[in-house]
Structure 1
Amino acid sequence: MSAPLEDYGLIGDTYTAGLVSRDGSLDWLCLPRFDSGACFARLLGEARHGYWSLAPRGDGWSVARRYRPDSLVLETTFHQAGDEVRVLDCMPVRNDRPDVTRRVEGVSGRVPMRMTFVPRFDYGSIVPWFRPDGRRLHAVAGPDHLTLDCDFHLDVTEDGRAVTDFHIGPGEGVEFHLGWTSREYGSPPRPARDVVPATERWWQEWAGHCRYRGRYREAVVRSLITLKALTYAPTGGIIAAPTTSLPERLGGVRNWDYRHCWIRDATLTLLALLDSGYDDEARAWREWLLRAVAGEPEQMQILYGVDGTRRLPELTLDWLPGYEGSRPVRIGNDAARQRQWDVYGELMDALHQARHAGIPPAEDAWQVQRKLMDFLEGHWREPDSGIWEMRGPQRHFTHSKVMAWAAADRAVKAVEDFGLHGPADRWKRLRADIFSEICEKGYDPRRNTFTQHYGSSTVDAALLTLPGIGFLPARDKRMLGTVRAVEEELLNGGFVQRYAMNPRTPDIDGLPEGEGTFLACTFWLADCYIQQGDIANGRALFERLLSLRNDLGLLSEEYDTRAERLVGNFPQALSHIALVNTATTLAALDASQPPRSAPASGPLEDEVSRGR
């Protein structure tokens, strides 16, 4: 059985990533990239589905963990009486193939250690053949070829495990290296012995470019390192999470594959990178967006594979029992086939923010934007599935309409602010029409709140983003009322749910259960408090969110307030993006200056440009 999410640490090489538990077990790793099949899948099942353990033998060991400063090198220290040993885990930043390095360092006493290597390809379904080669062990099946190098002889058992026991004393160090190659390329070269310090230096140099100087620097840097680790280096795409099917409710069915790139996160990602000084990463993300959406506007998807792949068929892995019995386990994501109008606004806003930040425009970016606008102009009145990818009937979601407004607004500003050629007057009329319809059909004057969708009596946490988008000032009475409605209807244990759940009947997306509170939405509530001038309340909520991070500074997608546990895919990019953006806003207030890349259509813009 897998450990609680809080017990996992992330390692990665900007191509893929793994999760290491507090007790020294690598329980999740997909090779050679994020969306490949897992060779260790105990996270979603049992020991027989694959893991790689490296820890002291016996019980009673206390454990302390940390990342080496400003790096993604995980250090786990085991202590018992006078005995102490460290295990360092990392993935060297990729050259031509993936590699996991695990180094054991003796600190005091003479510690008995055990290494157990149980690879299982294709998400735990295939037991490989083992071929010993001196102190090198090959594990082969189909296209996958793992090579384990170590300093000891390995005993291979009949049930497909490789085990070695050894002792380590003060000042001694031993290493284990796991390399992957496709069968056609044969064995990887023998690993170097300076991998760990070289990997640590690489991350420290990268983290050194962060220009955030506020009081939350530790949390911001850790979040940025996490985002970098979730970046697929060849394309610049940033995945939502390195895992699949970690449940939104323990034991539930809301289990989705997040090892893909979502357009909906585009603007928030770009702002987090730009405000923190990572212009190269922001530029790479912008280029990924443009490549991914290339094609006819009506073919634009809400998510893509790390390389821009469009076909992400959703499959169920019946042999995996799921995290704490949460089934089904899914790979792929059928949400890629949904229609969501908000992604057009996200893309237009992201490219707008890139221009404002001084990132040189791509030669064909504006032509892509114009084609998208032509399509959106003729379709924005149609219903969609909304930002939360509802799997029930399509509706006229208010947030989707607001993002259509944002697309028109950014198109107008591209002409007015940057001199690009386009029908600005027509887009102004479109902007005004969308604004009027939203205020008429997506707003409940009796309750003084915007609603989840036209005709709805409930609210949606996505409405908290309206001031940041520039649709209305945070202090507008309608936004004040919307925030109050969110507080009344969606707060659970002090944190925000995405939308209201009915425990007796299937909710709006047709699934018969609730979920945890959504961490990004709670950051958005903190943003609203800050924008409304309630800095103390916003800061207090932000710091409560920081307290939910595990001991390594990592956040999942959601938080279960009853079980007091992190739930959902882990670690979650959107949670860390929201953390960085809120911390940047607070730092700007502390320094009495606006963030460098504050939205150009901010909440203080005059009402005429909004079409009122």
Structure 2
Amino acid sequence: MHNRPPDYSPIEEYGIVGNLETCALVAPNGSVDWFPFPHLESPSIFASILDTDLGGRFRIGPENSFETDRQYIDETNVLETTFHTTDGTATVTDFMPPAGQVSHPKKVLYRKVECTAGAVELGVELDPQFDYGRAKTRIESLEEGVLVDGNEERTLLESPIPLAIEDGRITGELSLESGDTEWFLLRCTGAEHASTDPDAALDKTIEYWSDWAHNCHPANGCVFAGPWHDQVVRSQLVLKLLTHAETGAIAAAPTTSLPEEIGGVRNWDYRFNWLRDAGFTVQALMNLGTADEANAYFDWFMDLCRADEPAAIQPLYGLHGEANLEERELDHFEGYRGSHPVRIGNGAAEQRQHDIYGELLLAVDEIRQHGRDLTDTEWTRIRGIVDYVREIWDQPDAGIWEVRGEDQHFVYSKVLCWVALDRGIAIATDGDHDAPIEAWQEVHKRIKDDVLENGFDDDIGAFVQAYGTDALDATGLLLPIVGFLPFDDERIQGTITAVQNRLAEDEVFVQRYDGEDGLPGDEGAFVLCSCWLVDALALSGRVAAARSRFEALLEYLNPLGLVAEEIDTETGAHLGNFPQAFSHIGIVNSALYLGYVLGHKTPGPVPMGIRLGEPVESDTTNQQS
């Protein structure tokens, strides 16, 4: 039905649905352009987001001119795409039943098509390209639709209309009048002939998400009360979509190789879990009231720490705990808008990143603050980590940003080693756990003295990215939040000012750093770092400035409330993998800190940055939402 493949949709125009095992990205023209199966880190069935010609897609939408409205059904991950044509209006509703939660097959992508006004003509195109377009496919017409076999995986499109097969593409035309409804069911391996009632599946899926989502009334003292409350709920729903139902691991993003610079080489596979996300993730989940998810995630990463040698702990793992994440390139794909290479796997799994130990201890401390007692086995593993940090803290590493140049003495890595000892000492003391407290305290002091001597530049008046450089890094904004120095320390305030002067743009955005990282090209502003500046300002007593930046940042989220890793500061276009878990975690935690300083108390313990960072008191008169 297409003479040529369509152009690439902007990253920020996509919506996402999923079943807690995998996700699909849906473009505003009704095309499913990304769908790995059976799991998020599996090879794709559709990947036209990475190659419009070779990647494959499943589109239901008008062939002629149209306008599109998109929304999620309230507090769910059920996506509605409404097409307005000159002759009528139709809505495509996309969803997948969540694994283990709904008694309908989870391996089915449901697409409901309903004409709500006039009459509409919609085209249907199915082009499965299994294994990132590398598998040979066999197509067979069946009475109920079309079966496509791609060696290890297969799909059966259950269709209400006849489908034609031509040049490996499956097409059809759907005519609807007002009141007409039809269903297309893409049944994937294991669910080709499973019994299901699509209307009941939709009702149950809506019910599950509505019951699960954070559903307080903002006027009743919710810490997230404010104009951002609905966005916080959407961020929570995104984080749940990226959580694997079986293991509790949370993916950094559902996509691979969406570029940080259009046409550039900064294209990475983010369908894995980074342990560095642990502390801030647990804080977000706990304060959202999703303790089950926080505990499942905690159990998952604690299980990964059971190695006798903490040096074996990797910066990232597969969502089933896979350690081998060999990085490879898909040379046959052109990449999103020509951004090559397209990568699967991630070589950062083999790096040395010393910050991960402090982030793990922050997560342990956070979940402990929420009332969870540590088992003897868990403490043994935690003690092993802290002891290991005593040995390696003074060695260089690749840092939190996983630079691909030489290892350096990154300030943030040193500070997080200090955090590992700091939280280890506190946990051992409070819980009366066996530990070499005096030895830990001695190294704890040595690290702090070392960072203050070598990591702070008197001429700049700020903490720098690494020893011996004058580059700045947005991670300097986190030093008071993790308790290294109080917010009113002049060195912290100097760092905040320096970040604003050198890394911030347009009173909204913040770059990660301004130093070299061993890679060519540029990147956009980091959404997470922009949130960190909001946090630092709010907890420094500058609440009005923090709120202004936060509200301005939220304007750049797409109409569905989704955001990528980065934003182009000139165009507002989203860059990098999408949607990005850490960006949404940053939004949740910024709303948490703003809510707290505006007087909305949490139902649980005081948030990390308040508890550890000794924030500056501020007059929040007239700041209430």
Structure 2: how far apart are the matches of 1:73 and 1:451? 44
Match of 1:125 among 110, 134, 147: 134
Match of 1:496 among 510, 528, 534: 510
Q: Is 1:472 the counterpart of 2:488 in the alignment? A: no
Match of 1:438 in 2: 451
- Corresponding residue to 2:407 among 382, 390, 394: 394
Aligned identity (percent) is: 38
Tell me, yes or no, if the aligned pair for 2:135 and 2:151 is still in contact at 8 Å: no
Q: Give the equivalent residue in structure 2 for 1:69.
A: 74
| Cα-to-partner distance string for 1:128-150 (whole Å, 9 max, x where unaligned) | 11112102321112111111112
Aligned residue among 530, 538, 550 for 2:558: 550
Task: State the AA in 1 paired with 2:138.
Answer: W
- In structure 2, the residue matched to 1:366 is 379
Q: Is the 8 A contact 2:369 2:605 kept in 1?
A: no
Q: Which residue of 2 aligns with 1:105?
A: 114
The answer for the alignment partner of 2:25 in structure 1 is 19
Given that 1:136 and 1:150 are in contact with CA atoms closer than 8 Å, whether structure 2 keeps it comes out as yes
Deviations 1:479-517 (A, max 9, x none): 11111111122123441111115xxxxxx2211211111
For residues 98 and 51 of structure 1, what CA distance do their matches in structure 2 show? 17
**3-state DSSP class of the match of 1:396?**
coil
Q: 1:213 to 1:333 in 2, by over 3 A?
A: closer
Partners of 1:58 and 1:82 in 2: how far apart?
Answer: 11
Displacement of 1:45 in angstroms is: 0.9
Paired residues of 2:256 and 2:577 also in contact (CA < 8 A): yes
Which residue matches 1:214?
Answer: 225
Q: Are positions 1:577 and 2:581 aligned together?
A: no
2:546 aligns with 538
Query: Residue 264 in 1 paired to residue 276 in 2?
Result: yes
TM-score, length-normalised on structure 2?
A: 0.93
Aligned twin of 1:199: 205
For residues 178-202 of structure 1, the C-alpha deviation after alignment (integer angstroms, 9 at most, x for no partner) is 1221xxx583314322222221111
CA distance in 1, matches of 2:567, 2:145: 42
Residue 152 of structure 1: CA displacement? Answer: 1.8
**Counterpart in the other structure of 2:93:** 88
2:182 aligned with 1:174, yes or no?
Answer: yes
Aligned length in residues: 595
The corresponding residue for 2:83 is: 78
Using a 3 Å threshold, how does the CA distance of structure 1 residues 465 and 188 change in structure 2: closer, same or farther? farther
Q: Is the 8 A contact 1:384 1:395 kept in 2?
A: yes
**Is the 8 Å Cα contact of residues 11 and 73 (structure 1) preserved in structure 2?**
yes
Residue 149 (structure 1) aligned to one of 119, 144, 158 = 158
**Does the 8 Å CA contact 1:29/1:38 hold for their aligned counterparts?**
yes
Contact 2:123 2:174 in 1 (8 A): yes
Deviates more, 1:585-594 or 1:66-75: 585-594
Provide the C-alpha distance between the structure 2 equivalents of 1:426 and 1:333, rounded to a whole number of angstroms: 36
1:213 CA displacement: 4.6
SS in 1 for 2:311: helix
Letter in 2 for 1:47: D
Code of the aligned partner of 1:72? N
SS of the equivalent of 1:3 reads: coil
Cα drift, residue 320 of structure 1: 0.5
Of 17, 30, 39, the residue aligned with 1:33 is: 39
Matched to 2:572, the amino acid is E
- 2:612 equivalent among 602, 606, 610: 602
The residue identity in structure 2 corresponding to 1:125 is R
- Shift of the alpha carbon at 1:605? 9.3
Asked whether 1:52 is paired with 2:58, we answer yes
Counterpart of 1:609?
Answer: none
Q: Which residue of 2 aligns with 1:610?
A: none
Question: Contact 1:222 / 1:553 at 8 angstroms: preserved in 2?
Answer: yes
- Over 3 Å counting, the alpha-carbon distance change for 1:113 and 1:351 in structure 2 is same
Q: Which residue of 1 aligns with 2:4?
A: none
Matched residue type, 1:40: F
- Does the Cα contact within 8 Å between 1:76 and 1:86 map onto a contact in 2? yes
Deviates more, 1:579-588 or 1:88-97: 88-97
For 2:197 and 2:375, locate their aligned partners in 1 and report how far apart those are by CA, in whole Å. 40
- 8 Å contact from structure 2 (residues 223, 596) kept in 1: no
Q: Which amino acid aligns with 1:163?
A: T
How far is 1:82 from its partner? 5.2
CA contact (8 A) 1:212 1:276 kept: no
Equivalent of 2:440, from 407, 418, 427? Answer: 427
Contact 1:135/1:154 (<8 A) preserved: no
* Residues in 1 aligned to 2:375 and 2:31: alpha-carbon distance in whole angstroms: 44
Query: Shift of the alpha carbon at 1:209?
Result: 5.2
Instruction: For residue 540 of structure 1, give the secondary structure of its aligned residue in structure 2.
Output: helix
1:154-196, CA deviations, whole angstroms, 9 ceiling, x for partnerless residues? 1111x11111112112222101111221xxx583314322222
Query: Does residue 458 in structure 1 map to residue 471 in structure 2?
Result: yes
Answer yes or no: is the 8 Å Cα contact 2:98–2:106 preserved in 1.
Answer: no
Alignment RMSD (CA, Å) = 1.7
- Cα deviations by residue, 1:319-350 (Å, 9 ceiling, x for unpaired): 00001111000000000000011001011110
SS at match of 2:613: coil
- Among 346, 352, 376, the alignment partner of 1:339 is 352
Structure 2: how far apart are the matches of 1:457 and 1:186? Answer: 57
- The 3-state SS of whatever aligns with 2:299 is helix
Mean Cα displacement is larger for which, 90-99 or 35-44? 90-99
Match of 1:411? 424
- Among 315, 320, 323, the alignment partner of 2:328 is 315
CA distance in 1, matches of 2:384, 2:124: 57
Note if contact 1:113-1:165 (Cα within 8 Å) is conserved in structure 2: yes
Contact kept in structure 1, 2:17 and 2:24, CA below 8 Å: yes
Name whichever of 243-252 and 80-89 sits farther off: 80-89
CA distance in 1, matches of 2:606, 2:585: 14
After the TM superposition, which parts of structure 1 deviate over 4 Å for at least 4 consecutive aligned residues? 208-213
Query: Is the 1:398–1:454 Cα contact (8 Å) retained in structure 2?
Result: yes
What's 2:3 paired with?
A: none
Q: Check the 8 A contact 1:348/1:411 in 2, yes or no.
A: yes
Q: What is the DSSP-based 3-state SS (H/G/I as helix, E as strand, rest coil) of the residue aligned with 2:500?
A: helix
Deviation at 1:597, TM superposition (A): 4.5
SS at match of 2:54: helix
Secondary structure of 1:110's aligned partner: strand
Q: Is the 8 A contact 1:84 1:107 kept in 2?
A: yes
In 2: Cα distance, 1:70 partner to 1:390 partner: 38
Task: Find the counterpart in structure 2 of residue 135 from structure 1.
Answer: 144
The answer (yes or no) to whether the contact 1:134–1:153 under 8 Å persists in 2 is no
Q: d(CA) in 1 for partners of 2:51 and 2:606?
A: 43
SS at structure 2 position matched to 1:378: helix
